Chains A and B, each alone.
Chain A
Amino acid sequence: MLTLSEVEYVASLACLELTEEEKKIFSQQLGEILDFFRQLDILDTEGIEPAFHSIPLKNVFRNDIKGNSIEHEKALSNAPQREGEYFKIPKIIGGGE
């Protein structure tokens, strides 16, 4: 079990608004899944490098040359709300205009 306040804390980190019902279900389900994850604890991984990639990869660099990018109008075409050439969003800073 995760406590309700743990669930609320993780949900706030993830920017998710959960209903009371969801919080209850998640506290039980996530708890069970996390318990299941704990079976890894018995493995000795001392000195083992983590494998962030499945195959050997190198960082890819390219010359800093301007290329074509998506046109303004196309980039804005899916916006839920726009004004002129901008995406419109609710206010970020509270108080006053």
Chain B
Amino acid sequence: MESLYNFTSYELREKLFKKKVSSEEVVKSIYERIEEKEEKIKAFLYLCKKEEVLEKARRVDKKIALGEEVGKLAGIPVGIKDNMCVKGIPATGGSKILKNFIPPYNATVIEKLLQEDVIIMGKLNCDEFAMGSSNENSACYPVRNPWDLNRVPGGSSGGSAASVAASEVILSLGSDTGGSIRLPASFCGVVGIKPTYGRVSRYGLIAFASSLDQIGPLSKDVRDGALMLEVISGYDRRDSTSVNMEVPPYLSLLEEDVKGLKVGIPEELTGDGIDEDIRKRLSEAVVLFEKLGVICETVSLPTLSYALPVYYIISSSEASSNLARFDGVRYGYRDFTGEDIFSMYKKTRGKGFGPEVKRRIMLGTYALSAGYYDACYLKAQKVRTLLKRDFERVFKDFDALLSPVAPTTAFLIGEKIKDPLKMYLTDICTIPVNLAGLPSISVPAGLIKGLPVGLQITGRIFEESTILRLAYSFEQNSGYHTVSVKYSRQKPEESNY
């Protein structure tokens, strides 16, 4: 019999509702898988105690047995990126400065998941405060790519992607400020969705760049992603940037025909900077879409070329302000050697933050400081307007945009960590999307030299259902969504370690 950890949540849901399996059996299978894989992959920062989790699973099983109504994700094992608050279990955001912090409340997304009876397995590794593209900035240990342990899983939601790819969880939550869901999804061969800004509440997410951050699902296929997105979306009065708009039934809209949709391919994201194999894979995707009746045309968005500096100025500025709260007073790490309050602040922050976080705080502080505010910060916000206009213009004629997720497949651990600028260039295709607040998905497009690669589909604001439909028809017609399942079915001797 196929191991239970190999299934999607949609498949498991059917089995659970028909009482063919129990949540207890699913959870046990997941723990066995974690035992087998985790030592090598390091996707978890905190794993919940087995007995307590099994007890929760048994409670769901009892509800089902008694014929009580259960939630949409009842009994499904889920992992949470460590920058979201789950009441009673540690949340470090991958940082030393939040060591020992135990949130006294749940993030809104967690409450929504719990309402649907999910089983939370633990907290997933990430770059410190979600700043990074490789997961090497975790203060604890880097996550390793399940496809090749010498390579990065992508960042910052590396643990969220790697754990789903290796079937250590069935679904996970990540957060995406400049590509932090889509990039690791691409590198690990799973589906990652960055919803429209305001679609999902950020309450209880440790803030990095508040005008860009969004929480989203990572899953084995598009259907599972749609299911989880449906659960976590919606207005929340505790996040004043969340938008009061009806959430469409994403799951039931998936199978609608894509014939006649118009898709643009931005030429700025298919240039020399992108690996030839990836460009080839994109062209093949275009051929497939055309066969399905989708109209594909090259488009130009000239300001895309400026997105990277705009992003790093804005996100670092917002981060320098958001991270001011870590001062050693109310929670987390404190350095006790300082004589007065200011030396306590400085020493706590100097020792508590890692190198990349300090670099971004420095950049942001510089960009916001007297004399540079207009030339640096305000200039970037103005270019952001130009970038938004570029998107608005093409979205008048096109329903979605198709591009690579990243210029390469997963790179080697250590390859870029010493050169921050080189690392930042990894995000060149994903960053513009956040600056314009658009919904976007990374969907598996097969393997290149044994490593997964994703395809990015970006839509108009609040039109998640269009990109989900396109992604779904792509995966169903290409069959690429089976890559992560193929990985987990490999026997250890067949894989490369």
Q: Which interface class (under 10, 10 to 19, 20 to 34, 35 or more) fits A? A: 35 or more
B306 near A53 (CB under 8 angstroms)? no
- In the assembled complex, B104 has its CB within 8 A of some CB on chain A: yes
A90 near B359 (CB under 8 angstroms)? no
- In the assembled complex, B149 has its CB within 8 A of some CB on chain A: no
B212 near A54 (CB under 8 angstroms)? yes
Given contacts A16-B362, A80-B328, A87-B330, whether A36 and B421 have CB atoms under 8 Å apart is yes
One of B108-116, B215-223, B269-277, B309-317 contacting the partner: B309-317
B385 near A34 (CB under 8 angstroms)? no
B329 near A57 (CB under 8 angstroms)? no
Chain A residues, Cβ within 8 Å of B382:
45, 48-51
Partner of B381, one of A52, A81, A90: A52
12 more A-B contacts (CB under 8 A) besides A43-B386, A54-B434, A78-B331? A16-B362, A17-B346, A26-B359, A29-B420, A36-B309, A36-B421, A37-B309, A40-B306, A50-B385, A70-B105, A91-B341, A92-B341
Q: Which interface class (under 10, 10 to 19, 20 to 34, 35 or more) fits B? A: 35 or more
B349 near A40 (CB under 8 angstroms)? no
Chain A residues, Cβ within 8 Å of B347:
17
Chain B residues, Cβ within 8 Å of A87:
329-330
List chain B positions with a Cβ less than 8 A from chain A: 100-102, 104-105, 196-198, 211-212, 237, 240-241, 243, 303, 306, 308-310, 312-313, 320, 324, 327-334, 338-347, 349-351, 353, 355, 358-359, 361-363, 365-366, 369, 376, 378-386, 388, 420-421, 424, 434-438, 461
Considering only residues 46-97 of chain A, those with a C-beta below 8 Å from chain B are 48-55, 57, 60, 62, 70, 74-75, 77-81, 87, 89-92, 94
Given contacts A78-B101, A87-B330, whether A51 and B362 have CB atoms under 8 Å apart is no
- In the assembled complex, A5 has its CB within 8 A of some CB on chain B: no
Partner of B369, one of A13, A36, A90, A92: A13
Partner of A34, one of B104, B237, B353, B366: B366
Bound-complex Cα distance A34 to B365 (A) = 12
Bound-complex Cα distance A72 to B388 (A) = 44
Chain B residues, Cβ within 8 Å of A48:
382, 385-386
Chain B residues, Cβ within 8 Å of A74:
104
Bound-complex Cα distance A26 to B366 (A) = 12
B312 near A37 (CB under 8 angstroms)? yes
Given contacts A34-B366, A36-B309, A53-B211, whether A15 and B359 have CB atoms under 8 Å apart is no
Bound-complex Cα distance A87 to B369 (A) = 30
Partner of B241, one of A14, A18, A30, A57: A57
Which residue of B is nearest A52, CB measured? B381
B421 near A33 (CB under 8 angstroms)? yes
20 pairs, A vs B, C-beta closer than 8 Å = A11-B362, A16-B350, A16-B362, A19-B350, A22-B355, A26-B359, A36-B308, A37-B309, A40-B306, A40-B383, A41-B379, A43-B303, A49-B385, A50-B384, A54-B438, A57-B198, A57-B241, A74-B104, A92-B340, A94-B340
Chain A to chain B: the 8 pairs with minimum beta-carbon distance, closest first: A54-B437, A50-B381, A17-B350, A78-B331, A80-B334, A45-B382, A17-B346, A60-B240
Chain B residues, Cβ within 8 Å of A75:
104, 330
Bound-complex Cα distance A36 to B112 (A) = 42
Given contacts A14-B361, A54-B437, A55-B437, whether A37 and B330 have CB atoms under 8 Å apart is no
A30 near B363 (CB under 8 angstroms)? yes
Chain A residues, Cβ within 8 Å of B313:
37
Bound-complex Cα distance A54 to B199 (A) = 12
Which residue of A is nearest B344, CB measured? A90
A10 near B101 (CB under 8 angstroms)? no
A33 near B312 (CB under 8 angstroms)? yes
Which residue of B is nearest A80, CB measured? B334
B349 near A17 (CB under 8 angstroms)? yes
A16 near B369 (CB under 8 angstroms)? no
Which residue of B is nearest A7, CB measured? B362
Chain A residues, Cβ within 8 Å of B341:
89-92
